Amino acid sequence: MLYIVSTPIGNLEDITLRALNTLFSVETILCEDTRKTLSMLKHFQKQGQVVPKLLSFFEENEQKRLTEVLDLLKIGQEIALVSNSGTPTISDPGFKLIRECVKENIKVVSIPGPASPIAALAISGLPTDKFLFLGFLPNKSGQRLKLFENAGQTQKNISATIIFFDPPFRIVKSLVDFQTVFGDIEIVICRELTKVYEEVLHGKVSFFIEKYTKKPPKGEFVVLFNLKEKKADALN
List the CATH number of the domain containing 225. Answer: 3.30.950.10
Co-location of 158 and 129 in the same domain = yes
- Cross-strand partners of 108: 2
Number of structural domains found in the chain: 2
Mean pLDDT within 177-181: 98
Co-location of 129 and 109 in the same domain = no
Q: What is the pTM of this model?
A: 0.90
Question: Each residue of 105-156: pLDDT tens digit?
Answer: 999 999 999 999 999 999 999 999 999 999 999 999 999 999 999 999 988 7
Question: pLDDT at residue 2 above 90?
Answer: yes
Question: Each residue of 53-90: pLDDT tens digit?
Answer: 999 999 899 999 999 999 999 999 999 999 999 999 99
Co-location of 127 and 106 in the same domain = no
Q: Which of 51, 86, 114 is the last residue of a domain?
A: 114
Question: pLDDT at residue 236 above 70?
Answer: no
What residues contact residue 117 under an 8 Å CB cut-off, 6+ apart? 90, 131, 133, 163, 165, 222
Phi-psi map region of 56: left, alpha, beta (phi>0 left; psi -120 to 50 alpha): beta
Mean pLDDT within 20-40: 97
Query: What pLDDT does residue 232 have?
Result: 43
What 3 state SS string does 41-53 have? HHHHCCCCCCCCE
Structural domain including 108 reads: 2-114
Query: What pLDDT does residue 230 have?
Result: 55
Give the Cα separation of 231 and 236 in Å (integer).
9
Question: pLDDT at residue 234 above 60?
Answer: no
Co-location of 97 and 195 in the same domain = no
Split at pLDDT 50, 70, 90, the class of 158 is confident
Query: What pLDDT does residue 58 have?
Result: 93
